Chains A and B, each alone.
Chain A
Amino acid sequence: MAFLELKNISKSFAHAKGMLKVLEGITFDVEEGEFVAIVGPSGCGKSTLLRIINGIVPMSSGQVLYRGRQVDGINLECALVFQSFALLPWLSVKANVELGLEAQGLPPAEREKRAGIYIDKVGLDGFEEAYPRELSGGMKQRVGFARALAVEPKVLMLDEPFSALDALTAITLREELLDIWQSPDMPVKNIVHVTHIIEEAIELADRIIVMAASPGRIVKDLKVELPRPRDRRAEAFNALTDKVFSLIEERG
């Protein structure tokens, strides 16, 4: 039994000119411990697919099984990190990180302690009382990661988390993400990472699912066998980049 099973998922939106098919026939399994990247051109429905997996967007047909069972509504074992950070501007860093902890039924003192641990882990020690608008983009996304990690999810779901950041900040955050994922005391088993940046997917993921647009569908599912830490300048890295790029370009 796979950790996550997606079975023949399709999604249509009502549109001014009838129904718009966004996703069609999406089927794949995710094994426990896998870091999966979903790559595709903009408009291929990859962000929608991510939201279908964690349940905040209903699918039109198909099935998502989490550890063999269908989850009604939102799967709280999945925690989402947003491209736009999606922090509440009127809440302090600490209160933002505590956002998901109330739903877990933790008492206030426990929430505060847990938030503190993960604020430290993402390197924001000392910024607990700051407000999002006082932080740089990179720091805001650190809050986004701390908020997701604090609920100690089994699956971390990343929706283009580095796309709104400058290149240098993105590099640092990607490295830290790998460190966090590989550290033994993390309950996070799986990462599902949506991105349009091919190099980013190859650098991070065990496996890449390549999608094409209109309607959004899977065109290739490939394993990344490169040893970690991965060198972006290595020949094998570039060969794989070219391969994925041409896969996307062919269907573009």
Chain B
Amino acid sequence: MDMIVWQPLSTWAEKFKYEFAASSGAVQSLGMFDALSGVGPAVTRALRSILVPPIRLIGRAIAALPRGPELSPEQSRRVAAIVRTLIIGSIVIFLTWALMRGFIALVRTLSQPWPSDAKQIPEAILLSTLRMTLAYAISLAWTVPCALAASESPRFNRVLSPIAEIVGSMPATALFPIIVIVVIQITGGMNLASILLILTGMQWYLLFNLLAGINQVPEDLKEAARAFGLSRTARWRKLILPAVTPSLITGSITAWGGGWNALILSEYFVYKNQTYQVLGIGSLLDAATYKSGNGVMILLSLLSMIAVVLLLNRLMWRPLYNLATERYRLDY
């Protein structure tokens, strides 16, 4: 997938890079695309010759349909208005009905007696958020230096980007069993295994966004930084880090999304009929789903997780994102 679809796409996307400076060769990803670039027009032509005739036929068929009675502009406007009202009205009625049903089901489920596990939810949420924060810190700790190194060396960037694309597009959940077994055997700690699993769901989003941010730093600004003799750290402080801040925030938001996703699978793990688990919102949800089948518990865990995600987005990421895009926008 990565070799034949994403790499050519990313090479192609580089054509749209916004660039001012007169010097230095543009970054180019290596890959099959170089060898295949001559094939592009031929493929386009072939696709066109396959796709265009049937579409043209359908168009002709529609044009040849018998026409109804001629309507005056006034009449056709009225007909259009009626049709529109009917469509929108039925959508509204259906949605209202569905919402009502859902709400009634929700209230009915929650009005059942709550299981004793529910008392664990606040602690579980806290522990899960803590694990997420740790995994996020680890992600930051290696992706930011990597991105900075990529900004220093176009060669490292050229090597890192395709590798990251390949490793990152592997489904992380496929690695879960291996990680859990290895980590538990070595350290015996499910907590560590859980954090590592969350990490696999987080880090690539950060890395990709940071690398994309690095590639968007305009050449003329990099030249100015060098021409005025900025030291490496001054260059990072004044140019690279501010320039990638919006990408860092976007990457963080997606990374946390991926992290919550991985979290649900990471705190509860069954291997050879033995259950490994740590207290967390993910394991509460899994236990409720796979073991007890308690609908109230499933709902409560889900709702509290959604609440935390929404709160974090509203109170932290949204303001940070607004600040970053306003302050560190690359226009001038």
Contacts and interface: CB of A to CB of B under 8 A. Distances in A.
A, B co-complexed: yes
Interface of A: 13-14, 16, 47-48, 51, 54, 56-57, 74, 76, 78-80, 82-91, 99-100, 102-104, 132-133, 140, 147, 151, 159
A240 to B, nearest CB: 27
B226 A74 contact: yes
20 contacts: A14-B25, A47-B22, A51-B22, A56-B23, A82-B20, A82-B220, A84-B21, A86-B218, A86-B220, A86-B224, A87-B224, A89-B328, A89-B329, A90-B327, A91-B238, A99-B230, A103-B229, A103-B231, A140-B332, A159-B22
Given A54-B227, A99-B238, 7 more contacts: A47-B22, A48-B22, A89-B328, A100-B229, A102-B230, A103-B228, A147-B228
B24 interface: yes
Contact of B226 (A14, A56, A140, A147): A56
Given A102-B234, A140-B332, A90 B242 contact: yes
Contact of B330 (A54, A82, A89, A104): A89
A91 B21 CA distance: 20
A85 B332 contact: yes
Contacts of A103: 228-231, 234
Nearest to A57: B23
A147 B230 CA distance: 13
A88 B227 contact: no
A250 to B, nearest CB: 24
A190 B149 CA distance: 37
B228 A89 contact: no
B327 to A, nearest CB: 6
The bracket for how many chain B residues form the interface is 20 to 34
A221 to B, nearest CB: 22
A80 B234 contact: no
B223 interface: yes
A44 to B, nearest CB: 11
Interface centre among A78, A79, A100, A104 (most CB of B within 10 A): A100
A151 B224 CA distance: 13
Interface of B: 20-25, 34, 218, 220-221, 223-231, 234, 238-239, 242, 327-332
A47 B219 CA distance: 14
A159 B25 CA distance: 19
Contacts of A88: 221, 224, 238-239, 242, 332
Contacts of B34: 16
Contacts of B20: 82-84, 86
A82 B228 contact: no
Contacts of B331: 89, 133
A99 B329 contact: no
Nearest to B20: A84
A41 to B, nearest CB: 14
B227 A79 contact: yes
A51 B223 contact: yes
Contacts of A91: 238
A74 B225 CA distance: 11
Contacts of A132: 332
B328 A86 contact: no
A86 B234 CA distance: 16
Nearest to A47: B22
Given A57-B23, A57-B24, A88-B221, A80 B227 contact: yes
Contact of B224 (A80, A104, A140): A80
A78 B327 CA distance: 31
B25 A82 contact: no
A159 B21 CA distance: 10
A102 B329 CA distance: 24
A85 B227 CA distance: 13
B35 to A, nearest CB: 12
A244 to B, nearest CB: 22
A174 to B, nearest CB: 21
Contact of A84 (B220, B228, B234): B220
Interface centre among B22, B229, B327 (most CB of A within 10 A): B22
Contacts of A51: 22-23, 223
A140 B332 CA distance: 9
Contacts of B231: 102-103
A14 B327 CA distance: 37
Given A76-B229, A89-B330, A90-B327, A99 B23 contact: no
Nearest to A104: B229
Contacts of A82: 20, 220, 223-224
- The 3 lowest CB-CB distance pairs between A and B, nearest first, are A103-B229, A100-B228, A47-B22
Nearest to B224: A86
B23 A47 contact: yes
Nearest to A46: B22
Nearest to A144: B224
Interface centre among A56, A76, A132, A151 (most CB of B within 10 A): A56
Contacts of A133: 329, 331-332
Nearest to A150: B228
Contacts of A104: 229
